[in-house]
Amino acid sequence: GESVGLHLPTLSVQEGDNSIINCAYSNSASDYFIWYKQESGKGPQFIIDIRSNMDKRQGQRVTVLLNKTVKHLSLQIAATQPGDSAVYFCAASSGAGSYQLTFGKGTKLSVIP
Amino acid sequence: EADIYQTPRYLVIGTGKKITLECSQTMGHDKMYWYQQDPGMELHLIHYSYGVNSTEKGDLSSESTVSRIRTEHFPLTLESARPSHTSQYLCASSESKVPPYNEQFFGPGTRLTVL
């Protein structure tokens, strides 16, 4: 089965700096990846997603990079703001028509003012 | 914006009680999911449904049951609550007919404490 893991459980960055959160997955058949942000007391919120036929996708202040060779993806947040403080999860869909997502453990991002 | 609702938001209950956690979505999504999440930890899929009258167990074994009689409603029931059931329960839904097909929209969660 699929397993998804994050490299660091916590990350502290200075306000205004860029943040990079990493994630690894195990199933080479995974074809869809998604990053969620979860604030305290709330459900996860969609940040950005990427399909396996792409290497990079950009949103507003966020970029996701996918390296299928080493089964690794990262989330980059530009000019990190206090409102970015949250737990970030990556999730992968195992492909083959599966609609299920396997979630990683989460990285808690703390922004230092 | 996702319109998916969960009630109650918080529940403290004694051991042995029967409880039902409610989840409703107004987006007409065909697929719905229940996850269990301990604080700060990953989400574990406990049940899912790909349509009315369709329910399946997820990867994490759970003593709960679910039903899907209507598209918009996906309640989760615990017949006899135990302290080991203390956790956060998250409901999600997704639409399989519109790309990207796998994006799941989450409700705010129900934090359950069993004494």
* Residue A87 to residue A111: CA distance in whole angstroms: 12
- Asked whether the predicted pLDDT for residue A7 surpasses 90, the reply is no
For residue A14, give the CATH number of its domain: 2.60.40.10
* B39 chain-A contacts, CB cut-off 8 A: none
Residue of A nearest to B9 (CA): A41
- Please give the pLDDT value at position B62: 82
Q: Looking at the 3D structure of chain A, how many domains does it have?
A: 1
The range of the structural domain enclosing residue A70 comes to: 4-112
- Asked whether the predicted pLDDT for residue A3 surpasses 80, the reply is no
- Please give the pLDDT value at position A96: 60
- What class has domain B4-114? mainly beta
What SS3 state is found at B111?
strand
Q: Kindly state whether A88 is in contact with chain B, defined as any CB-CB distance less than 8 angstroms.
A: no
Answer whether A1 sits within 8 Å of B59, measured CB to CB.
Answer: yes
Answer whether B58 sits within 8 Å of A100, measured CB to CB.
Answer: yes
Pairing, β B10-13 against β B110-114: parallel
| Domain spans of chain B, in order of start | 4-114
* Residue B64 to residue B80: CA distance in whole angstroms: 9
What are the per-10-residue average pLDDT scores of chain B (115 residues)?
88 96 95 92 93 92 92 96 96 81 90 97
* A102 chain-B contacts, CB cut-off 8 A: 59
User: B56: part of which helix (H) or strand (E)?
Assistant: strand B54-57
* Residue A65 to residue A2: CA distance in whole angstroms: 19
